[in-house]
Amino acid sequence: MLTVTPRPRSGIFGESTNDEAYRVLPGEDRLVKDIMTNELATVTASITIKEAMEILRSRNVPILVVYLEGEPIFALTEYELTVHAVNTEDHAVSITLHELIKKRMVVRCREDAILADAIPAMFDHCARNVPVVNARGDLVGALSLVDAVGAVNPDAAARWRTKLRQLWTETPEFK
């Protein structure tokens, strides 16, 4: 499991801006908690893809956070669930979320981490959405990769959406 944690500031504390202190580009110094969404539902990994889709629709939330052994380990959207349901055809009724995510790297972020650290971790592990936890490990929200990129550079978000769609449609584990 990879948890993106806060990075220490460098430089002169009182005289540096956040981006200078973290040695990142302007905008990349924003905290995950400022961008994350609180609109989500939580489930255990033992439910099926079909049940997960029904929960997202009935609760009208964009992200479903999956718990395994009492820890938030994954965040999924209806789009991702639909792609997997279509690719598994009739098996969406019986395939559990645990089976769906067991081969994927678990990535989550601390709420006090900066976007400059969260974005590369999400991109490197093909995580479109990740659970956001506090210092105690309690779930506080979820972060979308597109929202994070859009917060740093709104023009880049459109380019990233296109690049991510292409990457994830060409990656076998996401088909």
- The predicted-structure confidence for 1-40, as pLDDT tens digits, reads as follows 767 777 766 655 565 666 566 666 666 778 899 999 999 9
Q: Give the number of residues written for the chain.
A: 175
Whether the predicted pLDDT of 175 surpasses 60: no
Structural domain spans, the chain? 6-174
pLDDT band at 59 (very low <50, low <70, confident <90, very high): very high
> Virtual CA dihedral for 136, 119, 116, 7, nearest 10 degrees?
30
Supply the angle between the helices 154-170 and 145-152 in degrees, to the nearest 10: 150
- Look at the pTM and tell me if it is higher than 0.95: no
Q: What does the alpha-carbon distance between residue 110 and residue 135 come to, in Å, rounded to a whole number?
A: 7
CATH class of the domain at 6-174: alpha beta
Q: Running DSSP on this structure, what letter comes out for residue 8?
A: P
Average pLDDT, the chain: 80
Q: What does the alpha-carbon distance between residue 133 and residue 77 come to, in Å, rounded to a whole number?
A: 18
Residue recorded with tokens 């990457």:
167
4-8, 45-49, 75-79: range with lowest mean pLDDT: 4-8
Q: pLDDT value at position 174?
A: 46
Mean pLDDT: which of 21-25, 85-89, 136-140 is highest?
A: 136-140
Whether the predicted pLDDT of 87 surpasses 70: no
| Of 150, 77, 138, nearest in space to 108 by CA | 138
